[in-house]
Amino acid sequence: MTPADDEIRQLEILPEIDLALIDALQVNPRAPWTTVAAVLDIDAATAARRWRRLHEERLAWWVVRPSAARLTPYLDATLVLLRCPPGTAAEAAERAAAPEWAHTVDLLAGTADLGVVVLGSGLAEVDARVDDLAARCGGEVVERRVVADVYAEDAGWRLGICSPSQRQALLPRTDQPAPAPPRADLVDELLAALGDDARLSGQELATRVGGSEPTVRRGLDRALRSGAIQLGCDLASPAAGLGRGALLEVEVDDPVRAGRALAAAGPVHRCVQTVGAGNLTLGVRLTSLAHLPAIEAELAALAPGWRVRGRLTVLRPVKRQGQVLDSVGRRALDG
């Protein structure tokens, strides 16, 4: 954390054009600037310049990851809730975020102080890492919720500013069904090559991966359309007026059907089926915690049998989908 982080207590809400630009890039991170500009009724140079400023100021950034939904045959995930000694939670959260296998870290208020999504190759490895996490944080594990399925992950969340017609214009046009994913080693090579830049050109990708540009382009197209690779555009939530968050554990009659319906709801940025007192865990973003009852009522209408088993307030996201955040929600400085 830098001194500048401590001096900034609240981010200003971004202008509407910047929020619309981020939303357009959430719809399709690789849409040409000319397409983005036409949809937003600005020129391409303006779109590129505004994005460059947002990225340089760490208010928005690319998410380049294998889809969590595609990882389940190979990896397991568990949401771990920990209680820390008084006055130590913030420092413990920073330590919790250090390992690569700590996918997401939230500083919480309620029955737990930290919520950490731990990844591993099999539940035995996850279990060992949870023990490591508790020792690292000096905290007590109060609950472990094994993730059974993923319906919404942060990389797929959108601000929802663009209209349906604008979204359609941003998406690549294809009448072909989703293809099978490319071979696993190519997916890994593409992920490594893209790094944190979802807009890397086909020529640059071919140079990094090795191979002809048409072959690499086809491989990337298959990886994206099959869902093997997920591209997204994340942002500092307070800059969109969404500086409040909550973690809900709910029980529903049909977690598969309800999970899919809830994943499409605007406030929901994370929705996973979990094994615990409830069968779904949701992350919601909102402008004020006073709106939580109304949002819960809207979500309950989508999920027959809705019963809330637990609520936790998200005081601050410390790490989101592998990206460490600073004290005001921006992408943290490297190193």
Per DSSP, the residues of 71-109 read HTTT-EEEEEEEE--TT-HHHHHHHHTSSTTEEEEEEEE
**188 assigned to some structural domain:** yes
Domains of the chain: total: 1
Partners of 311 in the β-ladder: 248
Residue 23: pLDDT band with limits 50, 70, 90: very high
**What's the token pair of residue 276?**
């615990």
Partners of 64 in the β-ladder: 231
Per-residue confidence (pLDDT) for residue 71, from 0 to 100: 52
Residue 300 near residue 272 (C-beta atoms within 8 A): no
**220 assigned to some structural domain:** yes
**Residue keyed to tokens 């949002």:** 295
| pLDDT (tens digit per residue) in 146-200 | 999 999 988 789 999 999 999 999 988 777 777 888 888 888 899 999 987 899 9
Provide the residue type at 290 as one letter: A
**244 assigned to some structural domain:** no
Residue 7: pLDDT band with limits 50, 70, 90: very low
Cα separation of 319 and 90, whole Å? 12
**205 assigned to some structural domain:** yes
**221 assigned to some structural domain:** yes
**210 assigned to some structural domain:** yes
Q: Which residues contact 125 (CB under 8 A, 6 or more apart)?
A: 76
Residue-number span of the structural domain to which 203 is assigned: 182-226
Higher pLDDT, 293 or 71: 293
**307 assigned to some structural domain:** no
**54 assigned to some structural domain:** no
Q: Which residues contact 62 (CB under 8 A, 6 or more apart)?
A: 29, 196, 197, 198, 199, 231, 232, 233, 234
Per-residue confidence (pLDDT) for residue 37, from 0 to 100: 97
Helix (H/G/I), strand (E/B), else coil: 268: strand
> pTM for this structure?
0.89
